[in-house]
Amino acid sequence: MKAEREIVDTWSPRLLGLVRIVTGLLFMEHGSAKLLGHPHLAMFDGLHLFSLMGVAGVLELVGGLLVALGLFTRPVAFILSGEMAVAYFIAHAPQGFLPLVNQGEPAVLYCFLFLYLFVAGPGAFSIDAIRNKA
């Protein structure tokens, strides 16, 4: 029992940190596609920075980077969770109730991943952890 507890205590913050980093990097890709055109998606051609999608792109690119770095993780994750909830209800829910049907699964998953990071914190490998030690 003690060995199991040691494993959990050792690996939980590390896996949380890994989940945070991967989530942030994947989320940045959405913002990068919208704002920088990489990877290129034709649906974002001609996107205006001061449109709803443009603001979402800024949140995704900058917020994803901050989450990946573990800098200001909790407030940024809270904002991004809200962004994904809004995205779901504006873009996906009107197309049908179920996320599988309305293609809103990624928005729902990101919403709850960011909500979890808001509550759990950044985990290991984060600038926030370094700042809190100082």
Instruction: Quote the domain boundaries for residue 74.
Output: 2-133
* Segment 104-127, tens digit of pLDDT: 999 999 999 999 999 999 999 999
Token pair recorded at residue 32: 């990068």
CB of 114 closer than 8 Å to CB of 77? yes
* Segment 29-62, tens digit of pLDDT: 999 999 999 999 999 999 999 999 999 999 999 9
Q: Evaluate if residue 16 carries a pLDDT over 80.
A: yes
pLDDT (mean) for 14-28 = 98
Rounded to whole angstroms, the Cα distance separating 97 from 80 reads 22
**Per-residue confidence (pLDDT) for residue 58, from 0 to 100:** 98
